[in-house]
Structure 1
């Protein structure tokens, strides 16, 4: 429209010696563009710190496990730990060790139980079709959010058979209790370590939570070893759970009720994923990525009108409430 008006002004202005009506001149002034989206909040999009050298001599143990791993083995993309093999069915090679150099072991980030960490994704019990579709979206560039970069080379390099094996493995896993939600005004001061996982700063004191979700390991020393039996505490602002419940139920008119597509219990229907008991930081990130367009594809397009009117605070509240629901 602005270019069209500018063209009319140019034609009339030159032909009439530059005399243009006040209305037309006003119309020719730059029209305000759409409001810029707020920047991605740092708490939801943790940046990976520089890769460090990890000790390859000291072997670590965990209570209840007979296995031992050095920190170098724990952090190696092709030798992630399997502390409790009795907790899960046999893992396919692509899940257990991957295939060097590009196909990292799935269990490195999603863990042997599929629950993942806040910087990755909870995929235990997802349908095979959903997992395969998301990997296809990564491969074809439809999922390209700020935390999605590590998936691109894996999705491009993994074979169809490896993908089916991984999807079948994770789809068959039961969902374990993994995220505990706490409403609070203050949280420990934190720092990011390898992989973008957040840990409390030793003797760092506390700080206001503000409008953030801060997820921390239940047992930091065990999370550092990627323990598959210890989950996370999701600290959320006071009042966010109640507000999120109202939004999830469609109250207030900002968004339709989530149950419309995700089922009355919000545990998914077919390829529509479950929403309950997930990392609220991860859920927020997906809602935000869909809203700003960095997560695309057919399923994301269905969600775009759902998130169109939601602010970041709204999405935080929705994510906090969903995390309180039974898995």
Structure 2
């Protein structure tokens, strides 16, 4: 799944401007993740632990193929989610967001969002108001343009019905395994030892093949800098002059009204959204209330907020 997606998009991903000049450039660890993963052996059968499904590696080269490892984990997928629309060259939603809507460091977690919110965000992509510090919104802009109103409503209703289950374990660490970036996730380099984490968040899936195959039960270890969770908690609760997240996103940070849930979401994804809103890559009424909240954040603040929010049990 991500093998195909990375190969198709890596060439067009170049960091670029498009809004007010940021005082701190978009960090590579969060924005420059479209490095293709290795191709899966075409004739070898692949499976996910606990699944009865066995898939030859060559099937993952088909952009309309979704490996439904655990059908009981979600309600029946509508065609636009599980198959896409070949006549429109529209890839299935589950290719990026997974059948359960769990998403990952590369894509939004749609499970648990309201259907109205999902529809509104697709419209933001369609209008161009939702962009990114780079080309990381280009794929969704194309999908938004191709989606019919009926397909959009059906997909939104489907993902709104799915419960969000975080698969991440967040750990503070000064030293982390040396790793390479593969499609927004970090994979340890065998025998390379450790290195300082620096000003980064590293999301490390437990197995590269399972990550590339879209196994939504795959555990993910998230490494964050020491002290970032406590600092993020202070910021999220209204410290340092930042409005408390709970004021809009609910006391448990699981969403309220039109404000989306934050608890247990990918910190890489959360960081990108904070950055994009702060520097005007995301514009329009949907984020107007967030802009003054994030206006004075620095990179350390964004990392801390993302680390804390990812650590909150969803």
Settle same-fold status: TM greater than 0.5: yes
Q: Does 1:99 align with 2:85?
A: yes
The corresponding residue for 1:205 is 193
The corresponding residue for 1:224 is 212
Q: Distance in 2 between matches of 1:227 and 1:298?
A: 35
Q: Which has the higher contact order (CA 8 A, sep 6+)?
A: 2
The superposition leaves residues 84-139 of structure 1 with CA deviations (integer Å, 9 ceiling, x where unpaired) of 11211100011101112532111111111111111111110100000001100111
Q: Distance in 2 between matches of 1:243 and 1:155?
A: 37
Q: Distance in 2 between matches of 1:36 and 1:272?
A: 25
The superposition leaves residues 155-198 of structure 1 with CA deviations (integer Å, 9 ceiling, x where unpaired) of 100111111111111100112132210000111222233x4443
Q: Does 1:317 align with 2:312?
A: no
Aligned length in residues: 292
Cα drift, residue 218 of structure 1: 2.8
Counterpart mapping for 1:1-327 below 5 A? 36-49=22-35, 54-100=40-86, 101-145=88-132, 146=134, 147-193=136-182, 195-253=183-241, 255-327=242-314
Q: Distance in 2 between matches of 1:117 and 1:75?
A: 20
Q: Distance in 2 between matches of 1:58 and 1:323?
A: 35
Cα drift, residue 36 of structure 1: 4.8
Q: Distance in 2 between matches of 1:52 and 1:252?
A: 44
- Distance of aligned partners of 1:58 and 1:134 in 2 relative to their CA distance in 1, 3 Å threshold: same
5+ residue gaps, structure 2, are 1-19
Cα drift, residue 214 of structure 1: 0.5
Q: Distance in 2 between matches of 1:75 and 1:127?
A: 32
- Contact kept, 8 Å, 2:46 with 2:54, in 1: the verdict is yes
- Contact kept, 8 Å, 1:46 with 1:197, in 2: the verdict is no
Cα drift, residue 47 of structure 1: 3.3
SS at match of 1:238: coil
Give the CA RMSD over aligned residues: 1.8
Moved more, 75-84 or 267-276: 75-84
Cα drift, residue 44 of structure 1: 0.7
- Contact kept, 8 Å, 2:130 with 2:283, in 1: the verdict is yes
SS at match of 1:65: coil
SS at match of 1:43: helix
- Contact kept, 8 Å, 1:181 with 1:236, in 2: the verdict is yes
**TM-score, normalised relative to structure 1:** 0.85
The superposition leaves residues 248-271 of structure 1 with CA deviations (integer Å, 9 ceiling, x where unpaired) of 111121x11111111111111122
Q: Distance in 2 between matches of 1:181 and 1:239?
A: 12
SS at match of 1:56: coil
- Distance of aligned partners of 1:35 and 1:106 in 2 relative to their CA distance in 1, 3 Å threshold: closer
- Contact kept, 8 Å, 2:22 with 2:279, in 1: the verdict is no
- Contact kept, 8 Å, 2:80 with 2:93, in 1: the verdict is yes
- Contact kept, 8 Å, 2:166 with 2:265, in 1: the verdict is no
5+ residue gaps, structure 1, are 1-33
Cα drift, residue 317 of structure 1: 0.3
Cα drift, residue 51 of structure 1: 7.9
